[in-house]
Structure 1
């Protein structure tokens, strides 16, 4: 009994409860703007490069006498598009870990200054030589990505720890405005330069179509990303450390109460004794690589990393290569019919329209409804509609390439962005900042976000090559033949489907305090408490203890049975396809056309192998993540 009296749970600290129940007030909006400006800058810096890659190709890789404008070689295009993601991945892991060790505020300033310096550096170069320009650009964009990577876990963690239960999602909506701002600014700059320095189309005069002043256009666009970050530096440094870090990680409840009294403008009791008792409690002090963490949060971490990874494959490949998709369907005119600056304008206009009509509204639908619908429902719905619309674009792809049907393609394409943002692009960011303990929150968010950026790298590099035309002579100069835009969209549809599957590993956090979600309000005994005898199948008590087990058992029975019975019922077709069972007696019609019979047999074999062997293989692969939901029962009842 004496030991139990010393256990103080996080929910007993008045300062943390005050944060959860505080009415929405001015400091909440200040925190949203300050933290959100980081995401505004992140989105601008990451996506602005897709607006100028065509221009870089025209300026630095022009070939005299070529029928088409110069383009970036495959390895250069991959580096320019993907190097920032490599930096972001590294930054998320490093600064996520550092934020839990040194505190959110101290590390926050480092990331911001890195973003400002490297945004400016991205527009500089040692000479006008192509190698020097691209090398400088890639160097600074890697370190820009490193700073952006740190901003992800820190902004998310700070906002979740500052906000009341209703505002955790609002900060991420600023990313939509960052994407929109990039397009609008590119339109303004390209319009101004086009008006001042008129140039003919490439097909009229190839050399004169790219005026020397075009070199300033891309530099201005990438450098202006430093401005919003620099403007918020002072206010970031004035924000106090979050109360949850100070009280639960630094174990200084007195300082936490003092800081939040000023922020909330209320008197809070200084709970030194409770803080000391909380510091002595070891029930919630497990580390990241411990069995206790894996038991409590292992599946959650698998869920947040896998869903973010899958989302970013689709989301970033679509965003970075909108210009290629729009060119493929003819919505953006052919490059040779425009001058260099006019091409930037047309690309920016198309991307801005998509952002204005789908990306930004999607974010704000999430902000408005996330605490009514819940994170799980929004993420599941988003992945579902992304899958549906991607297949709707891919399967009848030839239909969409006709001039009269292009508007329909753009509308459906825009809807994939709407449901990405009114869906997993917001929730994958919000949830990792809510469901893990305070001392590991920034680290786990960094790991989840890094998995996302790994997906972005796969999307950026993979889609660049995959989307090339199947016929090598029709592919962009220097690229091997790909699988075409249609098949690339089919692949993205499958990726989104996997997102639906892995969403079931992510818990709902709607309306709960951070300590309640992460289990910091629970002792060891409380966390493992079994349902009472009166608990029904659909009671919250039963679901809390057994929802993952029930999902695991049902899914690991459902998916293999599809494969098992499919293979059993189709054995005769498989054996016939591989020649183990002799073919049936041929008809006179086939005997008269032996060549046609061979083609038919080969085609039939391909269908059998694909449908009867590949599909069960995919279903069995899908079963693997659900096995992790099923606990080991050997020797226990």
Structure 2
């Protein structure tokens, strides 16, 4: 539910951004020209949450490793609930001040969303066993697809209701050029709806115990680990305090040491670059849909329809693209991540995304591909004491790419020039091919425990074929945990 809300909040703004322009940037001296957000303001409205997301990923990722994911997990949810509601209640004495208030709350909304990335990924990876870990993380991330679908569906249903209630404008001009004043309520309700699923999730989040790996390896509390995991799995664990201490001692090398670089330097470069390149394309596609749809003939141009009809048109197109392309991609990853492996899925996804002529299929292969695997891999590659931090760094690199999509690529497509849109798609195809190449820095992780992948069990260094020779240092009960 956390990831459902994350995606809903990030992408619902796409369905109402044009409506904000018609409401607050309307020129009464030119009644036959619908209002439109200036390019810079449009980019801020749709992209400011990404700045917050990047900041939240770094802050909460670090806190997750220092304090434990459980301790800060509820904070992210409360931030998202409050800021989603406040976004819908944005106020101001002028258009500029209202948009400024909206951007302020959406920044902090993104801050909470950012925390959800490393914390959720770490918690789910440390609770799952090596056979179900990939599908579990992929299933959680697939809720992003459900969130995108609901962003289109909620906007579509609400705009249809508003259109039924308020079919004509109060302006004395042709109704197709009109902006119904009641539409001011529409965008607010769409934004505030995101608070509902977060509220429904809070109780269960607070009941969740800290992961056994954190309690054992970082806190060194074998007794609490056995109690927590025994309660979760309904089996009895034997307390092995001496072996927990031995395990903890084996993993104390400094963060910026040569040993860390030998083990994980290449992996960190790989996860950060691939996520960065992926999000340039992924967020460019999703945030610019409203501008690309008219150029492709999927929706009508603004002068042909009134304001609420434009929301209905845009959200309907977004909904069907998500249903037919985006959503199936996530669940194909869930189904095949064990059989094909993360490495193969990411390579195929980047390669197929390069063919932007197949517009709908790029949404499918983004999600049956790197949009899912770039989230899964950082949750598996790094050791327990750094897992949340380095997932956060990888995710933050992705959001840096997303900002390029929101502020550079989107600007290039705002003028509805078909040639500009084609050029942007060609550039995005090139970034996808770079992502294909950088994938070779990342090893396959399927079929191995987290300790084996990260070297926490005392394994020798992974070689170029990604094989590992395990030594005997391990947690008593670790194999039982992975089995269950």
- Hey, what does 2:214 align to over in structure 1? 245
C-alpha separation in 1, matches of 2:35 and 2:254: 53
Shift of 1:385: 0.5
Aligned match for 1:323, one of 284, 287, 290: 290
C-alpha separation in 2, matches of 1:521 and 1:489: 45
**Matched ranges for 1:227-246 at <5 A:** 227-246=196-215
- Hey, what does 2:344 align to over in structure 1? 377
- Hey, what does 1:492 align to over in structure 2? 428
SS of the aligned residue for 2:377 comes to helix
C-alpha separation in 1, matches of 2:177 and 2:447: 61
SS of the aligned residue for 1:349 comes to helix
SS of the aligned residue for 1:543 comes to coil
Query: 1:464–1:67: structure 2 CA closer, same or farther, 3 Å change rule?
Result: farther
Aligned match for 1:68, one of 33, 49, 53: 33
C-alpha separation in 2, matches of 1:542 and 1:325: 42
1:101 and 2:66 are equivalent in the alignment: yes
C-alpha separation in 2, matches of 1:385 and 1:202: 48
Shift of 1:542: 7.0
Cα offsets for 1:73-97 (capped at 9, x unmatched): 1111111111100000011011101
Aligned match for 2:116, one of 151, 154, 177: 151
C-alpha separation in 2, matches of 1:287 and 1:113: 34
Normalised TM-score (structure 1)? 0.70
C-alpha separation in 2, matches of 1:157 and 1:508: 18
Aligned residues: 463
Query: 1:430–1:544: structure 2 CA closer, same or farther, 3 Å change rule?
Result: closer
1:454 and 2:400 are equivalent in the alignment: yes
C-alpha separation in 1, matches of 2:175 and 2:167: 14
Query: 1:266–1:70: structure 2 CA closer, same or farther, 3 Å change rule?
Result: same
Query: 1:249–1:332: structure 2 CA closer, same or farther, 3 Å change rule?
Result: same
**Matched ranges for 1:473-512 at <5 A:** 475=415, 484-512=420-448
C-alpha separation in 1, matches of 2:421 and 2:68: 45
Aligned match for 2:4, one of 40, 51, 58: 40
Shift of 1:418: 0.3
C-alpha separation in 2, matches of 1:203 and 1:307: 53
C-alpha separation in 2, matches of 1:354 and 1:544: 38
Is residue 307–residue 428 contact of structure 1 (8 Å, CA) maintained in 2? yes
C-alpha separation in 1, matches of 2:410 and 2:367: 23
C-alpha separation in 2, matches of 1:521 and 1:270: 18
Is residue 376–residue 507 contact of structure 1 (8 Å, CA) maintained in 2? yes
- Hey, what does 1:187 align to over in structure 2? 156
Cα offsets for 1:300-326 (capped at 9, x unmatched): 000000000000000001001112111
Shift of 1:329: 2.0
**Matched ranges for 1:169-208 at <5 A:** 169-199=138-168, 205=174
- Hey, what does 1:434 align to over in structure 2? 380
Shift of 1:278: 2.8
SS of the aligned residue for 1:284 comes to coil
Is residue 289–residue 318 contact of structure 2 (8 Å, CA) maintained in 1? yes
Shift of 1:457: 0.2
Is residue 366–residue 426 contact of structure 1 (8 Å, CA) maintained in 2? yes
Query: 1:337–1:250: structure 2 CA closer, same or farther, 3 Å change rule?
Result: same
Shift of 1:206: 6.5
1:52 and 2:21 are equivalent in the alignment: no
Shift of 1:466: 1.7
C-alpha separation in 1, matches of 2:172 and 2:378: 51
Cα offsets for 1:580-599 (capped at 9, x unmatched): xxxxxxxxxxxxxxxxxxxx
Normalised TM-score (structure 2)? 0.92
Shift of 1:131: 1.7
SS of the aligned residue for 2:120 comes to helix
SS of the aligned residue for 2:465 comes to helix
Is residue 111–residue 147 contact of structure 1 (8 Å, CA) maintained in 2? yes
Query: 1:107–1:100: structure 2 CA closer, same or farther, 3 Å change rule?
Result: same
Alpha-carbon RMSD across the aligned residues, in angstroms, is: 2.0
Shift of 1:330: 2.0
* Highest RCO, 1 vs 2 (Cα 8 Å, sep ≥ 6): 2
Query: 1:198–1:482: structure 2 CA closer, same or farther, 3 Å change rule?
Result: closer
Shift of 1:272: 2.0
1:543 and 2:465 are equivalent in the alignment: yes
Shift of 1:267: 1.0
1:356 and 2:320 are equivalent in the alignment: no
C-alpha separation in 2, matches of 1:542 and 1:119: 46
C-alpha separation in 2, matches of 1:336 and 1:378: 43
Is residue 88–residue 146 contact of structure 1 (8 Å, CA) maintained in 2? yes
- Hey, what does 1:89 align to over in structure 2? 54
Aligned match for 1:139, one of 104, 110, 113: 104
C-alpha separation in 1, matches of 2:325 and 2:183: 30
SS of the aligned residue for 2:137 comes to coil
Cα offsets for 1:187-245 (capped at 9, x unmatched): 11101100000126999537971111100000000011011011100100000000011
- Hey, what does 1:284 align to over in structure 2? 251
1:527 and 2:460 are equivalent in the alignment: yes
Query: 1:544–1:185: structure 2 CA closer, same or farther, 3 Å change rule?
Result: closer
SS of the aligned residue for 2:187 comes to helix
Cα offsets for 1:29-51 (capped at 9, x unmatched): xxxxxxxx111000000000010
1:367 and 2:367 are equivalent in the alignment: no
- Hey, what does 1:568 align to over in structure 2? none
C-alpha separation in 1, matches of 2:273 and 2:171: 45
1:423 and 2:369 are equivalent in the alignment: yes
Stretches of structure 2 lacking an aligned partner (at least 5 in a row): 469-484
Shift of 1:67: 4.1
Query: 1:325–1:482: structure 2 CA closer, same or farther, 3 Å change rule?
Result: closer
Stretches of structure 1 lacking an aligned partner (at least 5 in a row): 1-36, 394-411, 469-474, 530-540, 547-637
**Matched ranges for 1:275-314 at <5 A:** 275-279=244-248, 281=249, 283-314=250-281
Shift of 1:68: 2.7
- Hey, what does 1:219 align to over in structure 2? 188
